Amino acid sequence: MKKALNAIGNYFKNIGIAFVRGDVWVKLSAVLMGAGYFARKQVINGIIMFLVEALFVVLCAGYAAPNLAKFGTLGTVQFEQVFDPLTMTSTVNDYDNSFLILLNSIMALFLILVFVLFWIANMKAVYRLQVQKENGEHINTFKEDVQALFNEKFHITLLTLPAIGIILMNILPILVLVAVAFTNYDQQHMPPSALFTWVGWSNFKNLFTDSVTVTFGYSFKKVLAWTLEWAVLATFTTYIGGILLAKFINNKKTKLPKMWRTLFIIAIAVPQFVTLLLVRNFFADSGIVNTFCTSIGLTDFLKNVGLVPANLSYIPFLTNPGWAKVMIVIINIWVGIPYQMLIATGVLMNIPEDQIESARIDGANPFQIFVKITMPYMLFVTGPSLITDFVKNINNFNVIYLLTQDVYVTSDQLLANSNAKEIDLLVTWLFRLTNEYYNYKMASVIGIIVFIICAAFTLVTFTRTIKGDKEEEFQ
Partner 1 sequence: MKKTIQAILRHVVLLLLAVVWLIPILWLFVTSFSGYKGINTSHFFPETWTLDNYAQLFLRADSIVQYNKWFMNTFVIAVFTCVISTILVLMVSYTMSKLRFPGRKSLMSFSIILNMFPGVLSMIAIYFILKTFNLTNSHIGMIIVYSAGAGLGFLICKGFMDTISVSLSEAARLEGASEAKIFFKIIIPLSKPIIVYTVISSFLIPWGDFVFAKLMLNSGIATDWTVAIGLFNMLSKSMIAKYFSVFCAGGVVISVPISILFLIMQKFYVEGITGGSVKG
Subset of 412-441 contacting partner 1 (CB under 8 A)? 427, 430-431, 434-435, 440
For the bound state, the minimum distance from the C-beta of residue 319 to partner 1, rounded and expressed in Å, comes to: 14
For the bound state, the minimum distance from the C-beta of residue 466 to partner 1, rounded and expressed in Å, comes to: 6
Which CB, 48 or 342, lies closer to partner 1? 342
Q: How many residues bind partner 1 (CB under 8 A)?
A: 105
The region of 17-25, 115-123, 352-360, 387-395 touching partner 1 under the rule CB under 8 A is: 387-395
Interface residue with partner 1, options 60, 111, 268, 416 (CB under 8 A): 268
The region of 16-24, 51-59, 61-69, 453-461 touching partner 1 under the rule CB under 8 A is: 453-461
Measure the CA dihedral 19/20/22/26, to 10°. Answer: 30
Residue 10, interface with partner 1 (CB under 8 A)? Answer: no
What mask, x for binding partner 1 by CB under 8 A, covers residues 304 to 323?
--------------------
Which CB, 46 or 336, lies closer to partner 1? 336
Interface residue with partner 1, options 225, 248, 313, 357 (CB under 8 A): 248
For the bound state, the minimum distance from the C-beta of residue 326 to partner 1, rounded and expressed in Å, comes to: 16
Residue 332, interface with partner 1 (CB under 8 A)? Answer: no
Residue 211, interface with partner 1 (CB under 8 A)? Answer: no
What mask, x for binding partner 1 by CB under 8 A, covers residues 22 to 61?
----------------------------------------
What mask, x for binding partner 1 by CB under 8 A, covers residues 86 to 125?
-------------xx--x----------------------
For the bound state, the minimum distance from the C-beta of residue 82 to partner 1, rounded and expressed in Å, comes to: 26
Q: Phi, psi at residue 186, to the nearest 5°?
A: -150, -165
The region of 122-130, 194-202, 299-307, 339-347 touching partner 1 under the rule CB under 8 A is: 339-347
